[in-house]
Amino acid sequence: MLTADTSLSTAENTISPGSHDADVDQLFGPSGPLGQAVGGFRPRHAQTEMAKAIAEAIAQQTTLIAEAGTGTGKTFAYLVPALLWGGKVIVSTGTKNLQDQLFLRDIPTVRKALSAPVSIALLKGRANYVCHFHLERTLQNGRMTSREDVGYLREISRFMKTTSSGDKAELSKVPETALIWNLVTSTRDTCLGAECQYYQDCFVMKARKEAQQADVVVVNHHLFFADVALKDTGVAELLPSANTIIFDEAHQLPEVATLFFGDTVSTSQILELCRDVIAEGLSHARDGADWAQVILPVEKAARDLRLAFPQDVIRLSVNQIAPSSQFFPALATLQKEFDAMVAVLEKQAERAETIEQCRVRAIEIGMRMDAWSKKTAGNKEAANAAIDDKVLWVEAFSSSLQLHQTPLSIAPIFNKQREGVARTWIFTSATLAVKNDFHHYAAQMGLTDEPAQSWPSPFDYGEQGLLYVPQNLPQPNSPDYTDAVIDAALPVIEAAGGRTFLLCTTIRAVNHAAERLRKEFAERNLPFPLMVQGEAGRTELLDRFRAAGNAVLIGSQSFWEGVDVRGEALSCVIIDKLPFSPPDDPVLAARIEALEKKGINGFMHHQLPAAIINLKQGAGRLIRDETDRGVLMICDPRLISKGYGRRIWQSLPPFKRTRDAEVVVNFWKAGQPVD
């Protein structure tokens, strides 16, 4: 978990402005240590200049927004100055996969090349570490729902005898999505803390202690912001001593921060609590209450609350819920029955630590329900439910319902976190700007007036790629739009020899496209393996896609970013429509209304920049190195017909452009770019 080494002294980290330009030139130069230690390393001007800018920000303890085009090598550009001059460094990434890559590969490579005497640690959320207590309890009571789970539990039990970290990522035999993990890991609610008999051996505590002592700590955005909101991930202890904080894949921060600075309570949480209450009550206080009768009214009320909306999936702000709806009476009933259950737990809590734990969880859930309903009382007519700078809204799924409070803006909250001790903040990604304009991102994060720079990709997009917008497609809101997309895409997929990502903006479009392509491939006798999001995990689908060499993969948002397929296996990326957020999204509607009240055009200043940044991510899947060639096909006619279309395609990599399908076919036939 921790690679121990001697730490850099404070004296070594004291630098003067601009003093490291020559050092950076030498480090990234043709005869520098990186070239000697890293296979295939070549000096890149943009990478060197980005590293100088980051070294300067570290020297001055200032903030820098740094956009680096695909292929710039931004990871090394921030790691080299961070490891040499960054002091105590926190690197936060977009995903756990990228976290593992940094910890296991990138940082050790740079550290070895530089002979930098720094120690590194990996810190993940508690759900990633096997819990001794919950594993023991699951082995004893055996609440398995399938034979598969029994096998997985056996593997986890064996793993515990050999692991030093307890990180479930090390156990590849049990899928990350397996339900058994919920039974053998802890949550903030179910952790016994210092009262636990296994506290001294706890993997979560061990990981946090190692992170405290390390010079460089790798976390992910969810962990970072969960800590800011909940103070429960170990980052809170790290922040005071950190000199440099680097956010990689920083374009994800507004969404992640919004999630954690908001508050959510769900019927699923309530039903899960009820299950634990009856289990612990019967185990430790069977004579204390009729436990079945304690939880049954709560379970019924929670289910009735969900049934207040007949639709399968729904998102409504408070003011959109009809006054005649059963929702508000159902919520009042749930609160009443829930309070009755809390009263029983109060009387029985001293009988066992686990019942006390249920009581604490229940009080917290009850407080969050009360806070939500009190804010809506008398405010149901409030426009878009923006109350106290929070958007109040309801989200219903097939079998659960969530009550959300979401901040209108994360900027003031995040700025508060950045106040106090001077330190360096680096925000980097391939997609932060719209036509070199960082205003949208900076405004979202509260980074107004902070320096921002962009470094171009070294790829020759004009020679390596082609942007194709087909003609005669219907408007995206047309009922037969996805069929029209498939009709236009089929000859392109065939000409590409498969080797295609079809990226859709909705799951419904993914499923319909999959159905159509299966049928068309069979009827036309096309030999392209078809891979569809949801039919297997993302990693497995990508491995199969790379191995096949001629596959077609259909995915939605999770395949728009963080996916790296180099070489001929991916030669075509088709995007069904411009990725605008759904206009009925309650949070988006409230944010746009807030902008409009200030006289700012909500579409041009919020929706459009957000869609462009998202589209840049999807387009970025195509060209991943200097030898890649491919076609980016964007099917949405608004790219041509709307005035804002020019702003969109000018923000994309500078591909050659065409509307002629024959030009696309010739692109692959000729084996070289068209004029």
Angle at 546 between CA 545 and CA 547, to 5 degrees: 95
Q: Which residues pair with 218 in a beta bridge?
A: 91, 122
- With beta carbons less than 8 A apart as the criterion, state whether 319 and 378 touch: no
Low-confidence ranges of the chain (pLDDT < 50): 1-17, 379-385, 672-675
Note whether 391 and 590 are within 8 A (CB): yes
Q: What is the CATH number of domain 461-670?
A: 3.40.50.300
CB under 8 Å to 18, separation ≥6 — which residues?
Answer: 56, 59
Q: What pTM does this model have?
A: 0.87
* Best CA proximity match to 375, nearest among 393, 384, 387, 367: 387
Looking at this protein, which amino acid is placed at residue 62?
T
- pLDDT computed for residue 2 by the predictor: 33
Contact 30, 17 (CB under 8 A): no
Domain with CATH 3.40.50.300 in the chain: 2-125+203-243+423-455, 461-670
Give SS3 for 559.
helix
Q: How far is CA 43 from CA 18, 73, 319, in A?
A: 21, 10, 57
Q: Count Cβ neighbours within 10 Å for each residue of 44-69 and write b for 16 or more, e otherwise.
A: bebbbbbbbbbbbbbbbeebbbbbbb
Rounded Cα–Cα distance for residues 88 and 212 (Å): 10
Contact between 365 and 263 (Cβ < 8 Å): no
pLDDT digits (tens, 9 = 90+) for 335-349: 999 999 999 999 999
Say what the pLDDT of residue 4 is.
31
Query: Cα dihedral angle (356, 360, 362, 368), rounded to 10 degrees?
Result: 180
What is the model's pLDDT at position 232?
56
pLDDT of residue 31: 87
What is the C-alpha separation between 632 and 657, in angstroms, rounded?
9
Do the Cβ atoms of 134 and 190 come closer than 8 Å? Answer: yes
Amino acid 9: pLDDT: 31
What DSSP designation does 194 have?
G
Q: Considering Cα of 24, then 27, then 30, then 34, what sign does the dihedral take?
A: negative
* pLDDT the model gives residue 187: 84
State the pLDDT at residue 123: 92
pLDDT of residue 270: 96
pLDDT score at 17:
42
Q: Reduce the DSSP state of residue 260 to 3 states and report it.
A: helix
C-alpha to C-alpha distance for 562 and 617, rounded to whole angstroms: 9
Q: CATH fold of 2-125+203-243+423-455, please? A: Rossmann fold (3.40.50)
Contact (Cβ atoms closer than 8 angstroms) between residue 496 and residue 660: no
User: If you average pLDDT over every residue of the chain, what do you get?
Assistant: 89
Alpha carbon distance 191, 213 (integer Å): 24
Q: Which fold has domain 261-407?
A: Fumarase C; Chain B, domain 1 (1.10.275)
